[in-house]
Structure 1
């Protein structure tokens, strides 16, 4: 009504007066007279003390980022597209039953909070049939087209998580399995998040996963990530320690990064985690989730048709790419360790006045911006090295 949007609010008991509360509020809007009137009213009508921090976003302002895993709740529902709403060209747009079903999945994601078990879903026979078609076709290609790490983990998912042609695994079971392997966990999401928000989740080893499935009319096509893409493409690699570390490094590099570097990191993510190839001896194998969940592109990427380039992040990070068709170019990593080392060097070029470290014990991000914090980190590393040396001595 006033042209001003409230984007964030926090409250706490006042440190000066125990009977009062302090509020921190973020506002967006260009209606300066209305804002001035509101501030004046707060001061005069109710006697509030108002401190205006800033009205302009300075160039050197560090974008907000979550410091604790619980703070992922703040943006998990800020999806950019799809969710319960579908575009006119979506295969399920004219299907009222499918649209109602999508709303059910969206409601699960909207109501979810960190620490809760992921609600279990009873999938319909049609949904299980769609899953079965995708599962059967892709599984036939994995032995010859997927990387070693994917093929190593897949039988474990079949054994412990209910990966079968006639069964869609539950996110809660898969999430628990991943936590036991690498500390990664799944979190339900209704649709596509912004690149900044999605990458921030990876910093905490949290992968925002859809729970719905593509429309039955086109089982081999989806214009958006769905549970086939998440469980068949992403999950197996998140159970691999080296790949899990690489994925988290992308997330950590994104925290507090300027918008132009977020775009670069999202592009690196696209050409690695989504559409990456890696070397296995003299052969090329697929490790990207977009490839491992697409029957057609998994065959195409290892054919003679696309262009193949070595993974050079300075070049990869600015490469344009299509979203709705097969990729014309793929980048090859020597190994996950090599990709991780390159990413760390690339992250050093990001202009931010601090470094970050994830503390797995507290599940918090530690911002390193002074000598004392760096010394504490060095002491922690030295302590771990001493423990390793002691264990080696005992052997």
Structure 2
């Protein structure tokens, strides 16, 4: 997670306010407008309910203090303004304290369609809505507490768990497959692709998820599908740790052929 970036996070002033330029606010508005169109009949209801609870301004980048008031009320979570990229150790430390890290910069026009590092749009619009939901908030908190104590190898397995759930997870509903992963929902291209005929859908089995390689720079060939949020809610630290130890013994699955490039960054 700690790597080089050309983006510089914004620092709050003495009143906790983060100041952005008119162009940055316009980028937010354009991203949000596109997002609203892309998620129709694709996002899960829990996400849509959370988005309504947050009441995000469509014209301006929201202030984290305003988001915190709503998250605190519903689940006890809050945001934490962070630099553009942070270490895994810091990431887990914040989640363990029920603080969700938000990089306070917004992407440039040239990165409008895709940005590798998470910006404020990805973090706030992609992830914060589900942090109003008790099941997803509890899973995130449990994940952080376990990750804070874990060694580097265990954190690699935890990264795959987060990737295939909170970033790129799907849910079975009465209306059919719906998206809950923030990495999908903050990307119109992936939102359309995820519910197309192109990817493969697999039932959420913890051992399989922990052993599946992924790439951050490709559309996902495989998505794991939960039946409801309780599948994540009832996972505790001991269950996760036991599953990770089993996955270590079983070993990784082969990387999907569509992800194989020379020098490809896979995990």
Shift of 1:191: 2.2
Alignment of 1:287 with 2:180, yes or no, is: yes
Pairing 1:319–2:212 present = yes
Written as runs of structure 1 = structure 2, the 5 A alignment for 1:80-91 is 80-82=2-4, 85-86=5-6
Counterpart in the other structure of 2:54: 157
Residue from 144, 160, 163 that aligns with 2:41:
144
In structure 2, C-alpha distance between the alignment counterparts of 1:290 and 1:331, rounded to whole Å: 14
SS in 2 for 1:183: coil
Q: Is the 8 A contact 2:135 2:232 kept in 1?
A: no
Return the index of the structure with the highest Cα Rg: 1
- In 1, are the aligned partners of 2:39 and 2:191 still within 8 Å (CA)? no
TM norm structure 1: 0.58
Q: Please give the secondary structure, in 2, of the residue aligned with 1:145.
A: coil
Aligned to 2:251: none
CA apart distance, 1:343: 5.5
Partners of 1:278 and 1:134 in 2: how far apart?
24
Q: May I ask how many residue pairs the two structures share in their alignment?
A: 244
Q: 2:158 aligns with which of 254, 258, 265?
A: 265
1:154 deviates by 1.5
Q: Matched residue of 2:178: which SS?
A: strand
Structure 1 gap segments, 5+ residues each: 1-78, 87-98, 352-395
Query: Which of the numbers 84, 87, 92 marks the counterpart of 1:191?
Result: 84
Q: Distance in 2 between matches of 1:123 and 1:281?
A: 41
Give the deviation of 1:239 after TM superposition: 0.8
Q: Contact 1:195 / 1:266 at 8 angstroms: preserved in 2? A: no
Matched, 1:205 2:98: yes
Please tell me the root mean square deviation across aligned C-alpha atoms, in Å: 2.1
Deviations 1:40-66 (A, max 9, x none): xxxxxxxxxxxxxxxxxxxxxxxxxxx
Compared CA separation, residues 196 and 146, structure 1 to 2 (3 A): same
Tell me the distance in 1 between the aligned counterparts of 2:158 and 2:111: 31
Map of 1:63 onto structure 2: none
**1:238 corresponds to which residue?**
131
CA 1:296/1:250 → structure 2, altered by over 3 Å: closer, same or farther? same
Alignment partner, residue 24 of structure 2: 127
* Structure 1 Cα separation of the partners of residues 44 and 51 of structure 2: 11
Q: 1:343 to 1:330 in 2, by over 3 A?
A: farther
TM-score (norm 2): 0.84
Residue 162 of structure 2 aligns to a residue in which SS?
helix
**How far apart are residue 342 of structure 1 and its match?**
4.4
Contact 2:2 2:88 in 1 (8 A): no
Structure with higher RCO (Cα < 8 A, 6+ apart)? 2
CA distance in 2, matches of 1:81, 1:261: 20
Shift of 1:282: 5.3
